[in-house]
């Protein structure tokens, strides 16, 4: 399974319009494309940072959609009020585990990291055996995923929770977990950010 994420620096006042546009205009078109297995949208209403992610059955399907989604991406950026400021990344979905599906009010904590490209298989095994069991113990845990870029060694771990309250309550525990696990792995943390899970329409199967 593969995914393409588009990060948009939105105007906070335009986020609701952007969410509606992705839900009503973009999602039906993308989901009708061959090999698409869903779409999600993360939003931070304070900073304006939003991430739209589409998931694909194969890398070929993701590649085949590149040109077709370009105009959709441009229109979405305009609706979010970003002035065309977007970043596009393509990933392999290495791990995905759901305890239960998220409901309204769910939130996501995403952690970006970098490891040596030759250590990615070890990173995937470490995530499955050491990180995932600890994430499942956090209050309000819904699901977790690990996406990787084998060419650069960049990875992003995303963990969804039932509510913002649950995510607030487990923040210190999660910080301690990140510190210890990153040290064990020898990875560099690039960024951590928390979001509202504004849209979650994914049919990606369990990959854990």
The model's pTM: 0.93
Question: Which pLDDT value is given to residue 82?
Answer: 83
Question: Which pLDDT value is given to residue 122?
Answer: 92
The neighbour count for residue 118, using CB atoms within 10 Å, is: 9
Question: Which pLDDT value is given to residue 205?
Answer: 64
Between 97-101, 106-110, 141-145, 169-173, the lowest mean confidence (pLDDT) is in 97-101
Domain residue ranges of the chain, discontinuous segments joined by +: 2-201
Structure tokens at 69: 């989604």
pLDDT digits (tens, 9 = 90+) for 118-142: 889 999 999 999 999 999 999 999 9
> Can you tell me the distance from the alpha carbon of 113 to that of 127, in angstroms, rounded to the nearest whole number?
12
pLDDT digits (tens, 9 = 90+) for 46-77: 999 999 999 999 999 999 999 989 899 999 99
Kindly indicate whether the domain formed by 2-201 is annotated with CATH number 3.30.70.100: yes
33 or 104, greater pLDDT: 33
Helix (H, G, I), strand (E, B) or coil at 203: coil
Average pLDDT, whole number, for the chain? Answer: 92
| Residue 177 confidence (pLDDT) above 80 | yes
> Can you tell me the distance from the alpha carbon of 208 to that of 196, in angstroms, rounded to the nearest whole number?
24
| Residue 3 confidence (pLDDT) above 70 | yes
> Can you tell me the distance from the alpha carbon of 24 to that of 36, in angstroms, rounded to the nearest whole number?
17
pLDDT digits (tens, 9 = 90+) for 20-50: 999 999 999 999 999 999 999 999 999 999 9
The neighbour count for residue 14, using CB atoms within 10 Å, is: 18
Question: Which pLDDT value is given to residue 206?
Answer: 62
- DSSP β-bridge partners for residue 113: 155, 189
């Amino acid at each position: 399974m593969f995914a393409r994420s588009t990060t948009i620096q939105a105007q906070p006042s335009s986020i609701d319009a952007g969410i509606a546009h992705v839900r009503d205009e973009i999602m039906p078109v993308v989901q009708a494309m061959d090999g698409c297995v869903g779409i999600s949208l993360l939003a931070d209403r304070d900073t304006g940072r939003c991430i739209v992610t589409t998931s694909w059955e194969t890398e070929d399907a993701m590649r085949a959609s590149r040109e077709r989604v370009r105009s959709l991406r441009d229109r979405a950026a305009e609706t979010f009020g970003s002035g065309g400021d977007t970043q596009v990344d393509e990933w392999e979905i290495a791990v995905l585990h759901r305890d239960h599906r998220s409901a309204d009010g769910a939130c996501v904590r995403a952690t970006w990291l970098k490891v040596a490209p030759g250590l990615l298989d070890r990173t995937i095994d470490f995530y499955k055996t050491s990180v995932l069991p600890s994430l499942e113990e956090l209050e309000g845990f819904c699901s977790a995923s690990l996406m990787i870029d084998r060419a650069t060694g960049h990875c992003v771990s995303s963990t969804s929770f039932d509510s913002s309250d649950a995510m607030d309550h487990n923040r210190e525990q999660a910080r301690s977990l990140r510190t210890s696990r990153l040290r064990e792995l020898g990875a560099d943390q690039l960024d951590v950010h928390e979001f509202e899970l504004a849209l979650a329409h994914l049919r990606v199967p369990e990959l854990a």
